[in-house]
Structure 1
Amino acid sequence: MDFIVGGMAGVAAGFFSNPFDVVKTRMQLQGELRARGQHAVHYKNIPHAMYTIVKHDGVAALQKGLVPALWFQLVVNGVRLGIYQHADDFGLLRDEKGNTLFVNSLFFGSISGMCGAFFGSPLQLVKTQLMSYSSEKIAVGTQHAHSGLTYAMRKIYRKNGLGGLWRGAHGMMIRNSIGSASQIAAYAVCKEWMDDNNMFQQSKYLSAFVASNIGAVVKTIALTPMDVIMTRLYNQSVDAEGRGQLYSGIVDCARKITKTEGLLAFYKGMGPSYLRQAPHTVLLLVFWDMLKDVQKSWERKTQA
């Protein structure tokens, strides 16, 4: 049940944050392996990016990749929040007074995020390629022209086999490990501190709302460099053997970005990344708290 609750919270949050994910993906691919000033700038900032996408591809383009994005949220958050909640249920996250142990929370947040990423990696691969596809006038990165989730998975499987669907999974596991650990640990510790000090107690979920915003800031700062790398790795074209034609792996991608675009390129798309992470994290963690309350209420009724 913990896995279902976590997955449902992720799906609810994913619907609202998806447009910012589209913008983030486009901005991270813009100017790929080009020095500043040597490439067209189709997406200047978040409002301009949204306007440009709507102008050339229509309003529906802001929800590109929504189907794999929601499946990704269901799988990844179902696994990671489920594992994290089980660790809490087994008494692995708190001391004898019931206070959250930061190191333990960080560790299990990292492990649960890594596990979720492994199972969700094929969906993230397809989602990235669907989000990057656009009209020729504003195209950035490799254009894969998938018509949908099922088509994309069949196409990748036929070309590169089962391993092709898990291309870049190791990098995704590192990315989600960093993001999950920073998000969950920051949220848990901040919420507990506010509750213990009677801060933001006007509403049952107000402290969860504030703590999740803090979690979003921490996660965005920690996650963005690896997120840029993973967007590039997932979106690049591959040869018949499934080898990337631009980057051979995480280290090669990081080296080429640093050499051609500079260190600041690792924070491309940080604005839309935060605007995606903020509502997503808030909705995810608040929904998670609410659904856990519903779950506990249902369990009490069934036991009565």
Structure 2
Amino acid sequence: MDFLMSGLAACGACVFTNPLEVVKTRMQLQGELQAPGTYQRHYRNVFHAFITIGKVDGLAALQKGLAPALLYQFLMNGIRLGTYGLAEAGGYLHTAEGTHSPARSAAAGAMAGIMGAYLGSPIYMIFPPESWKLALVAAMVSGIAVVLAMAPFDVACTRLYNQPTDAQGKGLMYRGILDALLQTARTEGIFGMYKGIGASYFRLGPHTILSLFFWDQLRSLYYTYTK
């Protein structure tokens, strides 16, 4: 049940943050393999992209890809938060005297993150649900490092998976993620590697906090009605 509630919590957060994922993808594909200044910029920044997509393609376009995103979140964060929840329920986050242990919480969070990473996600630290202010600050601060480190690979993956293919399904633009990275860096420069970084960052904090909030609420309801 812990894994189910965790997955549902992540899905709830995804419904609210998926539009930023759409914005990020559009910005990453804008001017693909074109030198800066040689193409028309349809999206100037995160907010302009959000408004433009809504006006031109309709509000429904901001939720494109929601179904696979929900599945991904359910599997990945279901494991992350669910594993942490089991550790908490088992009393592993407290010392022998019964006090809460930040070190054990960090260790449990890291282990939960590693298990989530096995499904292809970066490791994020899971914070105890009672420390909401700490979780908010830590999520935003640590998010800077995560986004900066992962942005080039995120851009490459987006382009790799959205490239045209031949009849056999072979990509026509990139041979793999390394080739996508090199081509992007060579033609678009360092800034091309960080397209959509604003949307990535704005999404990370709210998604983390919403996931924790929904998780805590679902668990409270569950334990209230099962006792």
- The alignment's TM-score, normalised by the length of structure 1, stands at 0.63
Displacement of 1:29 in angstroms is 0.7
- Residue type of the alignment partner of 1:24: K
Displacement of 1:77 in angstroms is 1.9
Contact 1:217-1:278 within 8 A present in 2 as well: no
1:226-252 CA-to-partner distances (Å, cap 9, x unmatched) read: 211211111112223332211111211
**What does residue range 78-227 of structure 1 map to in structure 2 within 5 Å?**
78-86=78-86, 98-101=101-104, 102=106, 105-115=109-119, 173=120, 176=121, 178=122, 181=123, 183-184=124-125, 187-188=126-127, 205-227=132-154
In structure 2, do the counterparts of structure 1 residues 108 and 282 end up closer, same or farther at CA, with 3 Å as the change threshold?
closer
Instruction: Name the counterpart of 2:15.
Output: 15
Give RMSD over aligned pairs: 2.8
Displacement of 1:93 in angstroms is 7.3
Displacement of 1:42 in angstroms is 0.8
Please tell me whether residue 257 in structure 1 is matched to residue 179 in structure 2: no
Q: Which runs of 5+ in 1 are unaligned?
A: 116-172, 196-203
Contact 1:212-1:285 within 8 A present in 2 as well: no
User: How many angstroms apart in 1 are the aligned matches of 2:179 and 2:48?
Assistant: 31
Contact 1:213-1:282 within 8 A present in 2 as well: no
User: How many angstroms apart in 1 are the aligned matches of 2:150 and 2:88?
Assistant: 24
**What does residue range 9-88 of structure 1 map to in structure 2 within 5 Å?**
9-86=9-86
1:84-115 CA-to-partner distances (Å, cap 9, x unmatched) read: 44456667778767333546643541332322
Please tell me whether residue 235 in structure 1 is matched to residue 162 in structure 2: yes
Displacement of 1:282 in angstroms is 1.3
Q: Which runs of 5+ in 2 are unaligned?
A: none
1:114-157 CA-to-partner distances (Å, cap 9, x unmatched) read: 22xxxxxxxxxxxxxxxxxxxxxxxxxxxxxxxxxxxxxxxxxx
Query: Whose relative contact order is higher, 1 or 2, with alpha carbons under 8 Å and at least 6 apart?
Result: 2
- The alignment's TM-score, normalised by the length of structure 2, stands at 0.82
Q: How many residues align?
A: 223
Percent of residue pairs bearing the same amino acid type: 43
In structure 2, do the counterparts of structure 1 residues 51 and 104 end up closer, same or farther at CA, with 3 Å as the change threshold?
closer
User: How many angstroms apart in 2 are the aligned matches of 1:275 and 1:261?
Assistant: 23
In structure 2, do the counterparts of structure 1 residues 226 and 107 end up closer, same or farther at CA, with 3 Å as the change threshold?
farther
Contact 1:35-1:261 within 8 A present in 2 as well: yes
In structure 2, do the counterparts of structure 1 residues 296 and 223 end up closer, same or farther at CA, with 3 Å as the change threshold?
farther
